[in-house]
Structure 1
Amino acid sequence: MPKVEVLNIKGENVGEIELNETLFAADIAETAVYDTVKNQLANKRQGTQSAKTRSEVRGGGRKPFRQKGTGRARQGSIRAPHYTGGGIVFAPKPRDYSYKIPKKMKRKALYSVLTSKVNDNELVVLDELKLDSYKTKEANEILTNIKADKKAYVVIAENDDKVYRSFRNIEGCDVEKANLINVYDLLRHNKLVITKEAIAKLEEVFI
């Protein structure tokens, strides 16, 4: 089992923790990670884009001028795609981009990303994360103490309004409950800052 040091919010070493091999020492499955991120981004899409085809644009029912004798190229409607104000060829319509992927694939991707965080020294484990007040200054100091990038993904076991509201004001920093973490957010943050309690929650939910 991989071992990592445990810090307090002052950045002091207060012990070690053995990480679960399933979560933090898995084989890296790059394809599963790619497919999972692609799925997450697709599911986020609104799909509300819409434009009108030539049959839907108002007007253009009358032939603009007679077929022959004018010397001009024949035209059937002023709403044809090559006209200003005409319809769009293959106009986009509202659609649902979401789709499902196997649960096992999502799990494999999550294990892969968590393992890469350990391998790349991008994991910081805290003994606990408690704040006395709603202060972004205090949250900033904690990140500085533990040598975590401002673009950190802070994972806690349960809802904590003080932690959430203090860290969310830091640009690039996000706070999430352990049971709601996802592959895309793990990848786009430089550091994973997680409490011991949250690690136990991960083991409970994802194994």
Structure 2
Amino acid sequence: MAASSQAFSGNLKKALAGLRRINLDGLRWRVFDAKGQVLGRLSSQIATVLQGKDKPTYAPNRDDGDMCIVLNAKDISVTGRKMTHKFYRWHTGYVGNLKERSLKDQMEKDPTEVIHKAVLRMLPRNKLRDDRERKLRIFSGSEHPFNDRPLEPFVMPPRNVREMRPRARRALVRAQKKLEQGNTMVNTQRKKEGADPSSGEVKTTEVTA
């Protein structure tokens, strides 16, 4: 641990806090790369590993989860307009001191807290929650002090794109038919007026008085 600790330039005390309270015997060290990953999908996979739901021996009353190391938290991505429309709110305890911070400002201040809050809110609120939280280590960059551990990169499962709903599919088909009918009526009108449908030019006839 000494050699890897010297190479780590971050907050070493925070990175190693609480490790003595964890029984590391038999635990796997799973590494998640957050670069380019969607916040919600990544957090759900981390919460699954922390609870041990990916193991056949999973039981809700036991803490069989593995250690989770999340790298490149600053490169996480979100969908939609969450960067400016999602807010974190907390109260200081004084009257009228309700504070809020947007996701964009939180990413600039501490990107690791974004993933930490997302994962923590996906865990069950029971007595095992604190122990599972200690197994989560998040770093804003690619450096971490656990290079001497048997690390296992976690491969994100492929995203299952849901098929279009029947109601939306019917609406799309109706819109396409309506567009085709409109084009047919335009071509017919041009033929009646003596125009070439492909050229779009209308023939005009001179009227003499």
- TM-score (structure 1 length as normaliser): 0.24
